[in-house]
Amino acid sequence: MSGGRVRGTVRDGVERFLGIPYAGAPIGQRRFAPPEPTAPWSGTRDATAPGATAPQNSYAGAIARILPTVIIPGADFLNVCICTPASRSSEPLPVMVWFHGGSLQHGANALQGYDGGAFARDGIVFVAPNYRLGAEGFSVLEGAPLNLGLADQMAALRWVQAEIHNFGGDPARVTVFGQSAGGNTVAALLAHPDAHLLFGRAIIQSGPLSAETPDRAGKITRLMAEDLKAAATRDAFMNFSPDELLGAQARVTAGGTPITGGAGFALAVGGGLVPASPQDALEGGAGAGIPLLIGTTADESRLWLVPSGLVRRLNRLHLAVARRKAGISASAVRLFRRNRPDSPIGEILGALATDKLLRVPANQLADARLARGAATYVYEFAWPSPVEQLRAAHAVELGFVFDGLSSPDSIGLAGIGAPQELATDMHRAWVDFAVFGAPGWEAWSARRPVKMFDGGANPVVSAPREDERLALTP
């Protein structure tokens, strides 16, 4: 490869090359600036262990019991981990590029749950890039470009186009996929005018399709600036070390969640990377030539509401305030309550949030793409995890997609003894989509078919919970 030689490992028929830089270290004067090419190295680079991770805080509170954090110090954290079949023919293989989630402030390719060995076993070249997170990647600063973490992802995809043939991959057959914040960035990548030059298929798992105005996205930056007694400018933030910024970040985000609100990072509309909200751009026809697999879990919000005990503390007043803030009608709330007669208020609010933030926008996008003849496949993960009563909460599906139920990361979400047959089926659907452009069930149509990964028959259901979708659709 152009940067130099690398040495990886071979185990169980899979070659792994870990921590390979795809861009220069974003330190010193490269902080708060677009990614730059990495400098070539001499000799053979050791790629047998995960590389550095982007500066980040560990998860806090109850969610830390469930979601792991890996922090590896080092400057070269704009790196990729690659898994590829050890035995392969001369014909190049499909490529899948994974963008991790974590609220744009957590996550790394070094997490055990993101090992791509099962994809390589099934004939895929798997690539997992790190990208800048939190203040370093998604601040809104005077004098700095917006969405630098997304710019890193674009640089990683360009690196894949230039280098993946060295690992047996076909740059003409690239699928991008991501979950949660990673799904949000995949939506933005799909909406980008250069998407068709970088990948040919996309998967969005529980990802918001939104981006905020710079003013709204910049709220957390302004709060951090106040905390640090500094201006919200690139020059001012350059005076603080990454650790100092992480301290301020922890202080201003304490207690917030995607469901209850609080300061958090978001994609910002503006500049060449996100010229419009991904939802608006995609519904307007962007990415229509690229097949899309999109879906949610049945109980997304339980990740934040149940382990913390918040689900039992929320009351009618919280529900009333939340529904007004989200623009949800009182009649929609009554419908959700009738459909869940024995559920506490917190579960009602969580179900409304899941649909309003994720399921309804996914349906709207599928409808818009259908009108343009774009191939779209919709799924819902509905298997109920017994861990801390999570049920089908946000992120529970990850171990199934990666066919890695025995990894500690998956056990933390799905427990011991999760159904391997479901993992086999779900993982196979992701592989088939990357290889063939179809996951094994019918594309979106007027019938509104949704593949339900419930751990039983995994049926395709037409228009599930249609009354609730219609009640929340603008």
Range list of β-strands (E), 184-319: 201-205, 292-297
Say whether 394 is catalytic. Answer: yes
Cβ(116)–Cβ(73) under 8 Å?
Answer: no
Q: Which helix (H) or strand (E) holds 369?
A: helix 360-371
Classify strands 93-99 and 125-129 as parallel, antiparallel or unpaired: parallel
Distances (CA, A) of 185 to 151, 178, 206, 267: 10, 8, 11, 8
| Nearest CA-CA partner of 96 in 418, 456, 430 | 430
Alpha-carbon span 246 to 56, nearest angstrom: 7
Q: Residues near 417 by Cβ (< 8 Å), separated by ≥ 6?
A: none
Say whether 106 is catalytic. Answer: no
Alpha-carbon span 474 to 465, nearest angstrom: 16
Q: Which helix (H) or strand (E) holds 313?
A: helix 310-313
DSSP code string of 286-311: TTTTS-EEEEEETTTTHHHHSTTSHH
Catalytic residue from among 100, 106, 192, 394: 394
Catalytic residue from among 15, 136, 283, 300: 300
Catalytic residue from among 103, 139, 180, 277: 180
Q: Residue 262 corresponds to which tokens in the numbers above?
A: 């609080």
Say whether 347 is catalytic. Answer: no
- Catalytic residue IDs: 180, 300, 394
